[in-house]
Structure 1
């Protein structure tokens, strides 16, 4: 009988009897018909049966993960996705307890649950701050002495983002974070990245106009895969969290959102920033002051479409997951054409002497129903309308 192969790690094989080193194993299956272990079972740390009894490996399968090898109950499970610096000699008990589920669907559901929890916690902090005086600064001064400054940031924005960062660092320390209020630049090749807008609609918030949100989105290699948006007002009037993950349904506070349309309505609503194009014979435009609110409302069926001309990745990361879950579409402007949105990609260059990151991303985006987007694209296609809209938005 052929001698067993050495382990992949190069460690020496003990010459003692098997009974003295480990418990006896069940006999290897003698034919393919007796194999019941699915192909998705994790690899084993211990070597499999001898080459003479091992089934032939199919093309494309791992050499160490033969589909004919049954998993031992004592075998440690692999983390999905595997960490590149994982030490096989460290026991599972010694590793941090932030292991991800094995299957992709379970992983995305777990990310959605975490995003929902963080968005709800952010909403609680924001709501608690409404009853007290808060400090407000501005990122951009006015263009003249008479002009008021723009782009406010409050102490609540900073506190909420810091709270979310601390919780993510504790639970998922190997995930990158991109937040609006901290000027950091995560590596462009980060596998998992959390895009956070702690208070979206800060101008509304500091003026006590009750329409603002907290947005928590998750990107996998730039693709939005899970997200949650706490809204100060929902389709049902009360505050709450819209949440979803890729391939799953749109939910509000843990319950699926069902589209309910009023009979006889012949004119709908769409969202557009002040000065943006898009007036239509089929709908009226509304300005909310919050991109996250608009994404959530498009997903929930309140708005037919929404258009964004100067937003960032943290404004849309969670909202694009919600709109996809609700069966809506997203288009991104590339050159002179609108194409289906797929992922966030850093720009090719920036003004500073550094590597571009997702903090530098800013592209025109349209979201909505397929019928609504067809009408909106026709309206935007009119000569000069994009240039006029861009000039007006830059001057705000």
Structure 2
């Protein structure tokens, strides 16, 4: 591409504008706009769009039912006949592939849909309600609803909701809606309408898959979790996790609850919720913590809160750090050794495997295998792993302290 055409290349994230529209006034209000975090799942790996001058892409959703408006604006578009056959990227075509059917491209038509949103009520069954009071702001009310594939009207709503994954979750994929083992938890803000009464705005959601566990049990796995940008930093995700726990912990057939590939941010919120729960259990009291992780801890965490053993061990380590005097060299050393012994287990396994190889390989072959495995870097990697883990644990403890 010549330098003369470089001005026709734009970053897709910079030209995308999102809104959750509650009223006509929101259309022209800049404070209601938010941006995407990624767009490579729609516009390609480099996230660039070619061929337009002053390109703006507007994706507006009615706040409740998420009826969708797509607006594409530009002042000029490259003509192949004047640019050696180069064509502008098909922006509308790329978006049509991922947007739910029924989106509109006429703004007046969209505003009619926004007006109809006044009568929108959440699909499913109310399972949790909570309020938050942001600093310097008024109290805000939220509700969490549980839905299944069979919940009337939910699938068409979910089809619109899941499109947000593409802009905020890397390697996102849409779920198979023919599989009735999927469960859904959706968070809505319940707010007072200017004309009186209450209205709803979609804020967050999570999916959970009910995996079969032999012989007649279930092991639910939390899969997709997303809080929409206008509702972040309000503690909503923690309440969403609590709602999921509340739903599943009362089911006797549920063994424990797992999470599919949790992001670091989600893992910290999960840790926070689990630590708050487990510090009420007898096995997680300070006297027991200093004796090391026990089967009793694993059993109580699973029995009371359906927390799996791997996660129960993290909870133990966080709570033990909370009750360790890090100014006491011996106590702090004992804590670090306890955690590092767990972190070191995979390296020890690899070490045993290398010893077996040493017996069957020629010296030069073994040296090459040891080099490729990074065996000599084990201590450095272990130290780095521990440092990162303790930092994460301290963030969880800081949040606990703020909410005590």
Q: Scaled by the length of structure 1, what TM-score is found?
A: 0.24
Q: Tell me the TM-score normalised to structure 2 length.
A: 0.24
Greater helix share, 1 or 2?
2
